[in-house]
Amino acid sequence: MTIALARLRAFAHFWYDFVVGDDWRVAVGVAVALAATYGVSRTSVPAWWILPVVVLVLLPVSLWRAARSKSR
């Protein structure tokens, strides 16, 4: 493997680990929320509220899942 390919692979691994982290469901939820915000922003409806609501839902759910998996 060349050094450039190894660096590119390490860079991609870093970003995957940074974005997905411990819970891939949160990453998917944020991506869906960003897409929904974009879609709503193309209409006349205000879209600023979508991301805060999604975070308010995803954070407790993620914490609950992590606490539940640690107790097993």
Per the CB < 8 A criterion, the answer to whether 25 and 62 are in contact is yes
pLDDT the model gives residue 49:
96
> First CA to last CA across the chain, in angstroms?
41
Q: Which residues in the chain show pLDDT less than 50?
A: none
Which residue range forms the structural domain that includes residue 27? Answer: 22-70
Residue whose pair of structure tokens reads 């974005």 in the numeric block: 19
Count structural domains, the chain. 1
pLDDT the model gives residue 18:
85
pLDDT the model gives residue 19:
83
This prediction's pTM: 0.76
Is residue 2 in a domain? no
Is residue 52 in a domain? yes
Is residue 1 in a domain? no
Helix (H, G, I), strand (E, B) or coil at 38: helix
H or E stretch covering 48: none
pLDDT tens digit sequence for 17-36: 888 887 889 989 999 999 99
